[in-house]
Structure 1
Amino acid sequence: MSVDRPLIGVLALQGDVREHTAALTEGGARVISVRRQSELAEVDGLVLPGGESTTISRLLETFELLEPLRVRIAEGMPTYGSCAGMILLAEKVLDGRPDQHQLGGLDMIVRRNAFGRQVDSFEEDLDVAGIDGGPMHAVFIRAPWVESASPAVEVLATVPDTPAAGAAAGRIVAVRQGDVLATAFHPELGGDHRVHRLFVDIVRKS
């Protein structure tokens, strides 16, 4: 690994691949799209973008990436998941489909589509532990939230108790366990690349 510019993959089966690529590049990484085992084997870290978690899990199986990815995460590869990526990294998901595959890496339970349908997207300013420079403007689109997490999981952000938050108030929406990072929101969409810079730094230090 080049310490200055680690090679980070973006899983390119569905979701905001281009936006994640731009944010990681701005954060100081070299970036490749990952669709094959050979590409997965090259990278120092991996981003799982948003999209539809059941579709992504099915495509992981189709592209023969499911088990190799589980192995690499278990071996300690730094991994970041946003929205659907958070769902895939959780040990258990509520309201998921019976055929949905979990990658593991985060000892927690998430509720899929907790924030409601596409029309119920939600935006809020969040204080995120480990990220300096003031609150982040977070965009949630049919997002999950964390129902419960083990003590091994560090909570980085919760939804503040505001009138707009409703049932989401107090819910956990950003976490870290070792070198695995996840957010329920989409930082790649807002132009604020601090989460991606944090992840690049995690990869550098791994």
Structure 2
Amino acid sequence: MLAPRPRVGVLALQGAFREHRARLEALGAEVTEVRLPGDLAGLSGLVLPGGESTTMARLMGEFGLWAPLRDFHAAGGHLWGTCAGAILLAREVQGAPPQFGHQDSLALLNVTVQRNAFGRQIDSFTTDLQVQGLDAPLPAVFIRAPAFARVGEGVTVLATHQGQVVAAQQGRVLATAFHPELTGDLRLHELFLNSLRRLETA
């Protein structure tokens, strides 16, 4: 019997959503680009891509996505945020630009995230990470990457770099500070899709 083909969305307001879509489709997923609340219908999971988190937060407000995304998760949907997407999932955000003062987030992951924890764009780098659940190191691209400065109750640390937490999971919420979509290694995307397949066959 063939495994079900997961239906997954990628938040397509800004950032690296096309790269995530390509990786997910390469693994056999049916992918929807999500820009409006109605686009969430019928999906099992949603990827919030890397990009510019303040811009993405503003557009989420303009397109009326804040409450529908929280409702999507509450109804059983899985979420995966990468870099800026991880910032949008965190309960608390540190380091927002002064002109914003406070940065809104979905507050679905019990962590405090520090923006730009590894420096500016010029400080971008690629390194091999040991990620829980993977049998070999994963190449990870860090671009103005955040880190999880506080990890609260219920959160599992999946990877660290230079003593900082860079991947974490809480229930149906996964967050990675780096960009797995910018490499040819599809294992994290595969793990995410496998979690959706288990949901659909439960």
Listed as ranges, the matches of 1:12-31 within 5 Å are: 12-31=12-31
The normalised TM-score by structure 2 is 0.92
How many corresponding residue pairs?
195
Structure 2: which 5+ residue stretches go unaligned? none
Which residue of the partner structure matches residue 166 of structure 1? none
Could you tell me which residue of structure 1 aligns to residue 32 of structure 2? 32
> Of residues 159, 174, 185 in structure 2, which corresponds to 1:181?
174
State the distance in 2 between where 1:61 and 1:24 align: 26
Q: 2:156 aligns with which of 154, 157, 164?
A: 154
How much has 1:3 moved relative to structure 2?
Answer: 5.6
What's the CA shift for 1:70?
Answer: 1.7
- Larger mean Cα displacement after TM superposition, 92-101 or 22-31: 92-101
Aligned to 1:201: 194
Partner of 1:72: 72
**Equivalent runs, 1:23-62 vs 2, <5 Å:** 23-62=23-62
Deviations 1:17-70 (A, max 9, x none): 111001111223110100111111231110000001111011000011111112
The alignment partner of 1:174 has SS state of: strand
Give the counterpart letter for 1:66 in structure 2: W
Return the TM-score normalized by structure 1.
0.90
Q: What is the aligned-residue identity percentage? A: 53
Tell me the distance in 1 between the aligned counterparts of 2:151 and 2:179. Answer: 21
The amino acid of 1:93's aligned partner reads V
The CA deviation string for residues 119-167 of structure 1, in whole angstroms up to 9 with x for no partner, is 11122110000123x10111100000010111311111001xxxxxxxx
Match of 2:131 among 128, 140, 156: 128
**Inter-partner Cα distance in structure 1 for 2:76 and 2:155:** 15
> Distance between the aligned counterparts of 1:6 and 1:122, measured in 2?
32
Distance 1:57 1:3 in 2: 35
SS of equivalent to 1:181: strand
Partner of 1:98, secondary structure, is: coil
Question: 2-side partners of 1:23 and 1:202: how far apart?
Answer: 16
Which residue identity lines up with residue 174 of structure 1 in the other structure? Answer: A
Structure 1: gaps spanning 5 or more residues: 160-168
Deviation at 1:73, TM superposition (A): 2.0
Moved over 3 A (4+): none
